[in-house]
Structure formats: C-alpha cells, structure tokens
Structure 1
C-alpha cells in the first residue's frame, strides 16, 4: 500500500494533468446506512451522467469500481480523464461527497492528508503489549485501517495479583522495571511511526501503571484511555479503539472551536478576508455540510462573496459561480492553512450557531 507521501505526490501530479477530468469523492463506508447494497455506485453513476462525463470515462470508472464488493475504505477519491488516466485512492478519512468534471480538484484530498495526525494505540494485558497505528489510507486488510506494529521481542509482563506480592518471583522493583521497559518500547514505536496522538487500552490497573511510567515526550501525546476486555474478538477490540479515537477527535475539535471563539475570526466575511486577503488564518473550521455559492476569479484565485459580481473587484477579470466549500478548501490549500470539517453533534451546533459556520485561528 502506498504511504501518505506517495499519495500526496501522485495527487499533486494529477493537479497538473490537463483537463477536463472527473474528480469524485465518494463515501463508501459500510457503517453508513445510505450505502446499503452499494448505493454509492448509483450515486456515482447519476453524478457522472448529470455532469456530462463522456461515456468512455464513465465506463472505465464503472468497470473499476463495480467489481469490488467491499471497498475497504470510508472514502474513495477517483480521478479519471479521457486520455486513459484513472487513479483511485482509498481513504480511512471521511470527506464530503462531491463530483466535478473539469479542472482537477485535488484540494480536499491534499488538505485531508496534510491535516491528518496519525493515531496509535498501545494495548496491554498480563501477557504482552500490542501496538496499532491508524493510517489515513486504507489497505482493506484491517477494520478501520488499524495496522499492528511488530514489537518483538518482548519481555513477559506481570500476570496477576500474585505478581504484586513482595515475596513473589516478580518484586515491585521488577514490575516497575517492566513498565519502564514497555515505556521505552512504546516510545520507539511512537516516534518511528510518526504517531502524534496515542490511546492506551487494556485493564484499568495496567493502563494506569503504564501511563505513570511513560517517558514525558510520549505521555504528553496520550489523548485517552480505553478499558477493554482483551478476551473479546479482534474486530470488537478494534471497534473499541476506533470509538476512543473518534471521541479524542471530538474533544480536539471542541478545544479548537473554543480557542477560535476566544481569539479567532468568525463568520464568512471576516474569515474570508483574513484567509485570502491578509493570509492570517492558519487553521480553518468549516461545517461539513456548508452550503452556498461564491463568485470565483481564476485570474487571482480569489473568492468574491457578491454573487452578482460577474467581474472581479480585484482585477476586473471575469468570474464564475463556485460552491462555497470548494472555494474555501482551495484557498486554504494555497495558503497552507489546516482545515477541520466539523460534522456532527455539539461541535457542529457551536460552529453553526456561535461562529457563523466558518471560522479560523489567526497567526496574529
């Protein structure tokens, strides 16, 4: 499976490919009830017909995707052109579904890869330590994209209550040494795999002991503890880890929105000005289902909120109508701003009702 850097390089190559081409972001998660009986294939066919994609391109895309019963991903990013180009990237990331025929539209893919912070999960029981890494890319080989890292060789751990008895074969000093050794193993795996956020999982007493013995530069990356039954089936274990990861992401987004509320910009007009004219926004928060349109000037690569402005106020060049979300993603990509797409629950309510649906953290 290609890594994120390889996908990024390939997507940047697609950006320079002569158009027109199909750019499609297709939600294929098996967890989404709207995808029962592979309904996403129907949405894709209807979108290609609506956009007027040439039959040859449509046929190649259909042949590529319809033969796959299980895509093994949350989102498929598809790029196809009349010259035979057909690239399909499988992502464990959720992106807003969208379809374009024209210039290559890679901004959502590139922004998602740039913004993704790799998660790791250290799972400990009385016998061993296991370490999983969550990739933004999907190989279809594991639930939710969790890949287990080989940590061998390992030292057997404390097995039960008797191991905490002072007269047992494993003294308190040995137990402390054991957890210190585990901390070193976890640190090596964390830095080798580029993990920025770490979840500890296992029996409560194990994770608490492990947390207290982690090196400081690893402990500061711990974002959650999950108390799991390690006798559960593998799929159930990974589902619990994924639930813990999603909760950690919800808390991270909440902190971002609170920081924006305290010292950032909010609302479309102020945020757009700070982003595109002043280049002050380094982290943008946008509603997942943000609606609306703006005028777009290809001459400057700038958005115009006056939907009646057929000429750019910046250069006098012609403008065209473009979905607001598309314009914001392209502006963020061109200015190196990170983007959080806020989808559900209290975070979405806060962004919509208190921050105007579009908001950002500023550099100054």
Structure 2
C-alpha cells in the first residue's frame, strides 16, 4: 500500500529532479481486454521509441530506454495505472521511480492508446489528480466485540493496528452483551419509556448505561486514529442498528466524515478483503460525487466565475479558493512563459505578453492554482456533465 509517508516521499523526490525527465502514464488494468497478455507493455515501448533522447548509450552504461524497459517488464501486483519517472544525468547516475496505482487517472483514458510519455519537465499533474480524487478514508467494521479500523488510500487498504489496544477484556465482555442486546431487537422497544414504573427489565436500564459508556469510549479511540492519520471520510460496516448507534456517537466534524453505513460484510471475525474492498470503494466514490455536486451548487448560488476566461482571470487575481475541472478535459489555455501568467483566450493572454503559447489546461492547472493558493477539484460522472453543460466546462468558488 502507498501510505501517507510513502506518497510524501515520492512527491519530494519528483520535486527535486532536474530536467529533462521521462514521465510515463499507462493504463495497465488487467480487467481491460486490450491489456491481455501484457499488451500494455508493447504500447509503452512503442511510445518510448519516439523519444530519441532516451536511446543514447555508451560502452560503460546502458541507455535510459533499456533501464526503463527493464523496470516495465517487472511483474508487479495487479494495478490500474502505472506512473513512471526516469532521468539519467551526465555522470550516468539513473533515477527510476515506478508507481503502480490501483486507481485510474484521466490522462491515460485517451483514444491514442491509453499511454502518455513525455520528455522534459516532470509531468506530475495526473499523480496530483489521484491524490485529490482518492482522499484518505477509513472503514470501521463492527461485529460484537470485534472492531477493526481500515485505512483506504489510492484504491488500497490496510488495517490500522493498535487502535483499541487499551480496551481490556472486561470492557469487551460488557460490549458483547450490549451488542447482543442491540441485535436482539429489544432496542426498539426500549426507545418507548415504560411509564408504569416497572423494573422488570433491569438489564435493559443497565445495558443503556453500558452502551453509552463503552461505545463512546471506543468511538473516541476511532476519532483519535482518524485525526492522527488525516482521514477525511469514514464508512461504517455492521449490523444496521448497532452501526447506526455507533455513528450517532461521533462528534462534530467526525460525524460529518461519515459517508455511508453499510451491511456487515462478514458473519464472523474473518473478513474477506475483496468483499470489504468492493463494498467500501463504491461508497467512497459516491460520497465524492455528492461532494462535487454540492460544490457546483455553491458556485451556482453565488454565482462564481464560469468559463475559461473568467475563471483563469479570477484565479490570477487571488479571488478563487476552489476551481472545478472535468475529470477529462481537452481544453486549451494560453501561457506567457516569461511572466508565468495565463489567459483563457489568446486575447486575454496578450495583456501579459505579445506571443502567448497555447497549452493544455490539464498540464498547467495545478501550477496555476498553486501559484495563487487555489485548490483544484476534479469532477466526474454527472457532475462533469453538469460542469460542461451549465458552467462552460470550468467553474470556481470565490474566496471573497
């Protein structure tokens, strides 16, 4: 799994690279029929043949092409996208970084073969997209006295160890009794108070105290783990009544993180990883789509700037905190290399320089946004369709 620290380290290494750098993104999804038999490797090698700078070799060192091909030919666990970065300096020292992602990125879903290879500045925008789209999330699985917290990142997941280490055996015994009570169906009857003063169900009153005390303690431990790892979304899995009660005990922003409450993926303590993965990821993607639609609603209500010219100008005047861009876009903008400024049209860019250069929006949006403290939000599905139809293909939320 690519964890938080690994992602930060990769990012730092790419930022420090001197140019020129080879950047490659490829669709390697084994479920894609076009990738059967390693056909994606052939497509990548064909794309690399068109970059003459990486084929130079001497009697003392292989070419950068040879080293990259060796890395491509390595067998790796199944993934959907390969990102690869390579550079060879004048002393023959080679930098190679292959990142296999279990998620798709927009750049490789192209008519031209689902491979994009470039020589020059490190092309990190698709990798930044993946970090933006697949936010750090967690899944809490509840089954009686078995509570497990899993971290999801870039389509992968792993259990977070030690979250409940301080809970002792007696606490778990009481928790099991409370969980059995909830699953028995008596919880619903207990919601209506007995006004007769009868104490015939004393255990129910005791259980109410146990539930609140124990469940709140466990939830606080979960919140602590979410905070420590920078988790932004949470999915809870378990018996509905029990999971709903646990969800109600999360406080403030942690409660707002809850994206879904899902059925128990297992009748016992052993969880099928594939089943957990297949349940949680669609729920997280659905939450992302809902958040994208809410962003567009806020932009519409303001209203915020819409269309390339208005949005690019607003970003460069520091007026934008979030810009919404389609998951896949072929839009072009105009760049003034000397000043670093942009225009949504050639005429707009000519305010800053005499000879602006037309460039792909997807290649430059992160640099433009970073320069002016703006966050990029890629949107997909219905939100992407709405962005094109209602907002001219790009829109932004005003900072002020």
Quick check: TM above 0.5?
Answer: yes
Equivalence for 2:305: 265
- Give per-residue Cα distances to partners, 1:70-116, cap 9 Å, x unaligned: 3x444333211232121223445532224321122224434654676
Equivalence for 1:149: 160
Equivalence for 1:291: 330
- CA positional deviation for 1:261: 1.9
- Give per-residue Cα distances to partners, 1:169-195, cap 9 Å, x unaligned: 973322332322221221222112221
SS of residue matched to 1:206: helix
The separation in 1 between residues aligned to 2:102 and 2:390, in whole angstroms, is: 30
The separation in 1 between residues aligned to 2:42 and 2:300, in whole angstroms, is: 41
Structure 1 unaligned regions, length at least 5:
137-143
The separation in 2 between residues aligned to 1:338 and 1:259, in whole angstroms, is: 15
- CA positional deviation for 1:291: 0.9
Matches within 5 A, 1:1-364: 3-4=3-4, 7-8=7-8, 10-32=10-32, 34-55=34-55, 56-70=63-77, 72-83=78-89, 84-97=94-107, 98-110=116-128, 112-113=130-131, 117-136=135-154, 144-150=155-161, 151-153=163-165, 154=167, 155-156=172-173, 157=176, 158-159=179-180, 161=183, 166=201, 171-231=207-267, 233-263=272-302, 264-276=304-316, 278-306=317-345, 313-316=351-354, 318-344=355-381, 346-364=382-400
TM-score with structure 2 setting the length: 0.78
- Give per-residue Cα distances to partners, 1:268-292, cap 9 Å, x unaligned: 111111123x122221111122114
Moved more, 225-234 or 17-26: 225-234
Structure 2 unaligned regions, length at least 5:
56-62, 108-115, 188-200
Give the conservation status (yes or no) of the 8 Å contact 1:22–1:53: no
- Give per-residue Cα distances to partners, 1:38-95, cap 9 Å, x unaligned: 443233223323344522222212211221243x444333211232121223445532
Residues 294, 51 of structure 1: CA spacing in aligned structure 2 closer, same or farther, 3 A cutoff?
farther
Residues 162, 362 of structure 1: CA spacing in aligned structure 2 closer, same or farther, 3 A cutoff?
closer
- Give per-residue Cα distances to partners, 1:253-306, cap 9 Å, x unaligned: 111111122222111111111123x12222111112211433422212223445
SS of residue matched to 1:315: coil
Give the conservation status (yes or no) of the 8 Å contact 1:228–1:240: no
The separation in 1 between residues aligned to 2:33 and 2:293, in whole angstroms, is: 26
Moved more, 163-172 or 284-293: 163-172
Residues 93, 363 of structure 1: CA spacing in aligned structure 2 closer, same or farther, 3 A cutoff?
farther
How big is the alpha-carbon RMSD for the aligned residues of Structure 1 and Structure 2?
3.0
Give the conservation status (yes or no) of the 8 Å contact 1:120–1:132: yes
Paired residues, number = 352
- Give per-residue Cα distances to partners, 1:192-231, cap 9 Å, x unaligned: 2221221111111111111222233422221221123323
Query: Which of structures 1 and 2 has the bigger CA Rg?
Result: 2
The separation in 2 between residues aligned to 1:44 and 1:279, in whole angstroms, is: 40
Residues 43, 204 of structure 1: CA spacing in aligned structure 2 closer, same or farther, 3 A cutoff?
same
Moved more, 59-68 or 161-170: 161-170
